[in-house]
Amino acid sequence: MHKPADRIRNVALVGHRGSGKTSLHEALLFQAGVINRLGSVLEGTTVSDSEADEKARQMSISAALASFEWQDRKVNLIDTPGDSSFVADALGALRVCESAVFVVNAVMGVEVHTTRLWQRAAELDLARLVFVNMLDRERADFFRTLESLKSAFGTHVVATEIPIGFEHEVSGVIDLVDMKAYRYEGAGRDNSAEVPIPDELADQAQEYREKLMDEVSESSDALMERYLEGEEISHDEIVAALKDGTNHGAIFPVACGVATRNLGTNRLLDAIVDDLPSPVKHGGLEVGELTLEPVDDKELFAYVFKTRADPFAGRINLFRVYQGMMRQDSQLLNTRTHTKERIGQLVTFEGGHTGHTGEFGPGDIGAVAKLKETKAGDWLAARDEPITMPAVNLPAAVMAFAVEPKSKGDEDKVFTALRRLQEEDPTIDLHRDAQTAEQIVAGLSQVHVEVIVERLRSRFGAEVHLKPPRVPYQETIRKPAKAHGRHKKQTGGRGQFGDVHIEIEPLEPSAGFEFVNAIKGGVVPSGFIPAVEKGVLDAMQEGVVAGYPVKDVRVRLYDGSYHTVDSSEMAFRLAGSLAMKQALEQAGPVLLEPIMLVTVSVPEDAVGDVIGDLNSRRGRPLGMEPVGAGMTEIKAEVPMAEMLSYAPDLRSITGGQGEFTMEFLRYEEVPGHLAGKVVDEARAEKEAVKA
């Protein structure tokens, strides 16, 4: 039997790397009785970090779903990676949940990635609850962290509990809703007991309860009046108002604990059920003209948010049902490919085990294996409805490498495996550089690309070398020129003859190529003119400066002559190519390089060093602005050639705190002293190929 939608909670665990999300996920599963012992990230025994590379790096790389019951509610909990290299999985999880639990490290407070994910959760209108973790660490401070949350996310961040004790002496929590204290001993399931509120904390608890009541009553007019008149407000009323306020972001409750000691976990489970909304309470999903409602008796619409490429089980697709019932052995339509998919076995994830079920109801999250064409981002529906989920803006891949298989003849194997990994992680950019003919793989960071290479090897047995990609230089001209190209060959039998006069001139940047036919009186028959254009384009594939493609040129064919017998398309194509090469030589040819818009976010104290470094890379800073929690965003225009090794350098300047994105802006002329170097390198490469 499926759970009714109003008894489901879909929750993403998100936060900066190292805040303890995976340990918390583990503790929640343990407390809910899904697993029988608390695994550890350090020992590589947690449920959600199950891949070999996750254990080796002690970090989550893929989102992991676990479903369990608590207080007769079904909780679908998605543990997401906190490293910004794997943000696609975190964003995919936020997209299909009503709520997010933000896990914050009590030593570090709000970190860069937390702020970014918070903005995304706000865009998606998610209910947000904060769990301050790691209270038992040295220099951990709940109240300092609470202040950092308020300064980053506003005054509606409010504590619903405060800790008893500091650092390694943390022993429990005080519940500010009921004004009760709980002490925890050991890490077992029944490790908490109600105790009187310690005398030394009574005033502090009262102060924070008043702050909570101010916030709760502010979100409800009915309560506000009674609260101001000093009337007693019941537990149920406070919980109801807290839930209403949390649902669409009027209140952000803050709970606390220590995941590795299972301290506060039972209360967080209660908060997930009590304070966070069900799919019904949160409301239907509007997609274009449609509003999808979490009801059983309407047509099915389910959204696939993650694809896992498994070399044995094939593809496993994780989906969220927005309306109707998903049943096994049914037929559905993929609205992107317009093809039918047969739904075979439906899969559930309970701790480290997969189970099977006959159906998933509206609002639920589940998985299905072995669909033919379906991948993340697709809709499965009862009818072919043109429906698309509003896109989540993914960061652009900035760390690019050229990939070549270690064994010759493995090209296809490597490419197929990379495609499979790209289905899993849409932030992987995969393309062949038309100009340099290299297979390029780009990721969000060095770590990201290393993980891709490790997964190629471990999952698909494909070994590759990585090398920095070549910069896609181009060439253009600076002044007009004329030229004459004649191709004449007289050998036994039919000869070849083509003869053309062209003039060329520069076009606006990025205007491309224009071919003008200005032939009068049929001196070149119209049948041969496309051949002349082809010849011109042939010559533009390899410019005269360093052999790079030529852009932004207008070519005018204005004169020529032909031979009634010996002229052919081939002869005119060759004549066009000869004329173009000659014209380029005389037209002031120059080398162009791609200029990138680089956006770097760095801690305030590193701004000077980062700008100095960008200047040394021929960068032109465009400006900077503060972006939350002690970070500054710097924008600059920098030549791509100077950015190929930027990631590790930025890491060392900012102590690992800086992040950057790059996007292509335009091409600009390479300064003279550097152009010579590029030309020499291109020549040397050609010689090497010939040798």
Between CA 320 and CA 1 the distance in angstroms is 17
Residue 29 CB contacts under 8 Å (≥ 6 apart), including other chains: 35, 47, 66, 68, 77, 351
Signed CA dihedral, 84, 87, 89, 93: sign only: positive
Name which of 218-222, 582-586, 670-674 the model is least confident about: 218-222
Section 505-517 average pLDDT: 92
Between CA 174 and CA 181 the distance in angstroms is 4
Between CA 437 and CA 447 the distance in angstroms is 25
- Give yes or no for a contact between 389 and 287, defined as CB atoms under 8 angstroms apart: yes
Give this prediction's pTM: 0.72
Residues forming beta bridges with residue 68, ordered by sequence position: 75
pLDDT greater than 70 at residue 544: yes
Residue 186 Cα distances to 18, 38, 60, 172, 193, angstroms: 23, 12, 27, 11, 12
Please give the mean pLDDT across all residues of the chain: 86
- Give yes or no for a contact between 589 and 477, defined as CB atoms under 8 angstroms apart: yes
Give residue 487's pLDDT: 92
pLDDT band at 265 (very low <50, low <70, confident <90, very high): very high
pLDDT greater than 60 at residue 216: yes
Chain-centroid distance of CA 546 in Å reads 37
Give residue 81's pLDDT: 77
Q: Which of 501, 513, 515 is nearest to 474 (CA)?
A: 513
Residue 462 CB contacts under 8 Å (≥ 6 apart), including other chains: 405, 410, 413, 414, 417, 456
Give residue 45's pLDDT: 62
pLDDT band at 447 (very low <50, low <70, confident <90, very high): confident
pLDDT band at 414 (very low <50, low <70, confident <90, very high): confident
In tens, the pLDDT along 154-210 reads: 888 999 999 998 888 889 999 998 899 999 998 888 888 999 999 999 999 999 998
Three-state secondary-structure class, residue 437: coil
pLDDT band at 289 (very low <50, low <70, confident <90, very high): confident
Share of the chain above pLDDT 70, in %: 93
Three-state secondary-structure class, residue 457: helix
Domains along the sequence of the chain with CATH: 5-281 (3.40.50.300), 289-381 (2.40.30.10), 401-467 (3.30.70.870), 475-587 (3.30.230.10), 592-673 (3.30.70.240)
Between CA 149 and CA 108 the distance in angstroms is 11
Name which of 157-161, 301-305, 313-317 the model is least confident about: 313-317
Give residue 62's pLDDT: 66
Share of the chain above pLDDT 90, in %: 38
pLDDT greater than 90 at residue 307: no
Q: Which of 481, 482, 604, 607 is nearest to 112 (CA)?
A: 604
Give residue 91's pLDDT: 83
Please list, residue by residue across 519-537, b when 16 or more beta carbons sit within 10 angstroms of its beta carbon and e when fewer do: beeeebeeebbebbbbbbb
Which position has the higher pLDDT, 89 or 13? Answer: 13
The CA-to-CA distance between both ends of the chain, in Å, stands at: 72
pLDDT greater than 90 at residue 663: no
Please list, residue by residue across 103-119, b when 16 or more beta carbons sit within 10 angstroms of its beta carbon and e when fewer do: bbbbbbbbbbbbbbbbe
Section 505-521 average pLDDT: 92
Between CA 86 and CA 397 the distance in angstroms is 11
Section 58-80 average pLDDT: 82
Give residue 458's pLDDT: 80
Section 579-599 average pLDDT: 93
Give residue 545's pLDDT: 92
Section 36-49 average pLDDT: 66
Give residue 64's pLDDT: 80
Three-state secondary-structure class, residue 362: coil
